[in-house]
Chain A
Amino acid sequence: MMDESNPYLPYIVNIEDAWYETPVGDRAVKTFKVNFKDEKVWDTWSHKPGNCAMVGRLGIGESMFCISSSPTEEGYLRFSIMQAGKVTSALHDLEAGDTMTVRGPLGNSFPMEEWEGKNILSIGGGIGQAPLRPVINYVRANKDKYGNLSVLYGARTSDLHCFKSEFQEYQEEGTECHLAIDIEEEGWKNFVGFVPDLLLDVAPSPDNTIAVTCGPPILIKFVTQGLERLGFTADQIYTTLEERMKCGIGKCGRCNVGSLYVCKDGPVFSYATLKEIPEAFA
């Protein structure tokens, strides 16, 4: 846990490895594998799938990112960051050997204990796969506690798929895996279309299944609608939201969706919760 007396102070982390998931350029996704500069931090650190952290550089600022590694991946944290603005551009300048700041773990997490015994269906789009990756890896590391794992994932083009090698690993383990791209590409033999369409094509059963989805807001909207059509109830559907954030601890005020602070009451929410909040679907 971060300094209990002052939650505004970040940890310094060393970047062990950094690589691009997608072609370099605007809105590229870069993954960082980091380790605390002060090893003793690991003694008190614990995080769960869904938790986030404020990642940044001193002198530039911080932004909130999901911790893209499961707690079962020991000895490091992973963040997958899309280049978009000031902070993310400054982070993309960093390579292995550099340092960055991490403040966390923040927010709530996916209720992995509640989900034991159930089938887990992960539906991600683009960079939205980053918070789903720890869920998938947690389930893979605790196979006997969960039912079937299925993964649906799509991005605009095959180049823009994140974690490409990992989907192969899932398939080799026997996990049902469906990939998609938005428009036809030479050599692409899998589904062509948007992720909500992929979902209806695969038409998974809602029986004893939890669906977790993340991606651009429009994806979440249509995936949720699709899941309901397939018979999923609102409390079977989970997502993780994002808003502009600064403090990450529920004090600066800006990330509220209705009465819920996304940084603290979230970012993980069930659709059952979100349905009650008019602002969630503005």
Chain B
Amino acid sequence: MGDYKFAKDKLAEVVGALKDYEVFAPAAVGDVLRFKEVEDASSVSFDFKNTNVPPKELMFPETETLFKFRVGKTDIEPAVPDESKKRLVFGIRPCDAMAYTIVEKLYSWDYPDPYFEKRRESSVLFGLACSEPVPNCFCTSLGGGPGSEQGLDALMFDLGETVYVKTITDAGDTVAKAMGLEAAADAEKKAAAAQEKDALGKIKRSIDTEGIPEKLPSLYDHPFWEQFSDRCLSCGICTFLCPTCHCFDIQDEMEAFDGRRARMWDTCMFPEYTLHTSGHNPRPTRKERTRNRISHKYSYFPEKFDVIACVGCGRCINYCPVNIDILDILEKSKQAEAKEAKTA
């Protein structure tokens, strides 16, 4: 595709030039970063590692309306997003963009999910390559990297005073032209390659995933899960902040005569997630739920869709209040002897 650049001090102008797009970029409330619609282009900055809440909420908002209805009437008014509105996600990290390619596989499995798809199709993703990995980042172990292009329409490299922009798809190229970016030279491309190499060297943590998807089911009865589940709080932090987690609840809500069916994020870590009305719960304790979460990401999902449902962004490790570290779990799973499971 194309190679472009712009001066970093012109960032506000570049973003402001896009009149046809709703632009989303990381915005801070105190120390918390989340992707929000940009109101003031001068607030956009590249000075961040990654957002607390992943940009999955741009494609899959925490709460959204599926359809509306009125009391006593049987008409249903779908609330599918308007795909004619073009969106630009500016500054998404390669791991979070790769996560979309993973979640897409489930959301398009036989039945379309028009809510996710319309948002995703109307969004152009301008990634920001990482120069400093987040602590506990292990993207390279899952096929990603600080300069990975998966899922992106363009990839930006913050080279200090200049920003090099590599466009990957037609949509990305269209936006680059609309931004009025000038052509980049070899110098920028070389600097970007050097930055990527440097960033790769800074990634400290890793896991060899070879054999894990096949091994995990054999460890079903193994007691090693308790090492971690014993301190689990059953909260939703790991799953809500995970860019590949995609589970949701559906609830009907009424307000006087107006009603809606809405969906909202749900987590397999809550005990109520699988609670039957009869009172039976197939995953009654944290052990079953911890085992299920890891097994789902590293075994069940790859069995169906040929990709591990994890991008190594590190959020679950960084935000878990009780230090349940997925890399620790995976290492222990590699060491655990399947035959020990039978005697447990």
Direct contact of A and B (CB under 8 A): yes
Q: Is there an interface contact between B252 and A58, defined as CB atoms closer than 8 Å?
A: yes
Q: A258 contacts the other chain (Cβ, under 8 Å)?
A: yes
Interface string of B226-251 (1 = CB under 8 A from A): 00000000000000000000111111
Residue of A nearest to B67 (CB): A9
Q: A243 contacts the other chain (Cβ, under 8 Å)?
A: yes
Docked complex Cα distance between A243 and B274 (Å): 7
Q: Is there an interface contact between B67 and A8, defined as CB atoms closer than 8 Å?
A: yes
Binds A, one of B14-22, B68-76, B155-163, B174-182: B68-76
Interface string of B257-297 (1 = CB under 8 A from A): 00101010010100001111110101000001000100110
Q: B299 contacts the other chain (Cβ, under 8 Å)?
A: yes
Residues of B within 8 A of A99 (CB): 74
Docked complex Cα distance between A252 and B60 (Å): 12
Interface string of A78-113 (1 = CB under 8 A from B): 000000111010000000000100000000000000
Docked complex Cα distance between A6 and B115 (Å): 9
Docked complex Cα distance between A245 and B198 (Å): 47
Q: Is there an interface contact between A259 and B303, defined as CB atoms closer than 8 Å?
A: yes
Which of A37, A257, A278 has the most CB atoms of chain B within a 10 A radius of its CB?
A: A278
Docked complex Cα distance between A54 and B248 (Å): 16
- The number of residues on chain B lying at the interface, defined by a beta carbon within 8 Å of a beta carbon of chain A, is 50
Binds A, one of B44-52, B87-95, B103-111, B128-136: B103-111
- The number of residues on chain A lying at the interface, defined by a beta carbon within 8 Å of a beta carbon of chain B, is 42
Q: B121 contacts the other chain (Cβ, under 8 Å)?
A: no
Q: A12 contacts the other chain (Cβ, under 8 Å)?
A: yes
Residues of A within 8 A of B254 (CB): 59
Interface string of A37-77 (1 = CB under 8 A from B): 10000000000000000000011111100000000000000
Q: A279 contacts the other chain (Cβ, under 8 Å)?
A: yes
Docked complex Cα distance between A37 and B74 (Å): 10
Interface string of B140-165 (1 = CB under 8 A from A): 00000000000000000000000000
Q: Is there an interface contact between A282 and B106, defined as CB atoms closer than 8 Å?
A: no
Residues of A within 8 A of B266 (CB): 246, 252-254
Q: Is there an interface contact between B276 and A244, defined as CB atoms closer than 8 Å?
A: yes
Which of A5, A6, A62, A250 has the most CB atoms of chain B within a 10 A radius of its CB?
A: A6
Q: A251 contacts the other chain (Cβ, under 8 Å)?
A: yes
Q: Is there an interface contact between A246 and B248, defined as CB atoms closer than 8 Å?
A: yes
Interface string of A177-212 (1 = CB under 8 A from B): 000000000000000000000000000000000000
Docked complex Cα distance between A264 and B300 (Å): 14
- Chain A, 1-24, CB within 8 A of any chain B CB: 4-10, 12
Q: A119 contacts the other chain (Cβ, under 8 Å)?
A: no
Q: Is there an interface contact between B274 and A278, defined as CB atoms closer than 8 Å?
A: no
- Chain A, 217-270, CB within 8 A of any chain B CB: 217, 242-244, 246-247, 249-259, 264
Q: Is there an interface contact between B248 and A282, defined as CB atoms closer than 8 Å?
A: no
Known A-B contacts: A12-B76, A251-B111, A251-B113. Give 20 more (CB < 8 A).
A5-B112, A5-B114, A8-B115, A8-B261, A58-B252, A59-B254, A60-B252, A84-B278, A88-B277, A244-B276, A246-B249, A249-B110, A251-B107, A251-B248, A252-B249, A253-B246, A253-B268, A253-B296, A255-B274, A259-B300
What are 28 A-B pairs at a CB distance below 8 A? Answer: A6-B112, A7-B113, A8-B250, A8-B261, A12-B74, A12-B76, A58-B74, A59-B252, A63-B277, A84-B277, A99-B74, A243-B274, A243-B276, A244-B273, A247-B248, A250-B110, A251-B109, A252-B248, A252-B266, A253-B266, A254-B268, A256-B300, A259-B301, A259-B304, A277-B217, A278-B220, A279-B292, A282-B288
8 closest Cβ contacts across the A-B interface? Answer: A253-B247, A85-B277, A259-B300, A278-B220, A7-B111, A249-B111, A84-B277, A12-B74
Measured CB to CB, the residues of B under 8 A from A are: 66-67, 69, 71, 74, 76, 78, 80, 106-107, 109-115, 217, 220-221, 246-252, 254, 259, 261, 263, 266, 268, 273-278, 280, 282, 288, 292, 295-296, 299-301, 303-304
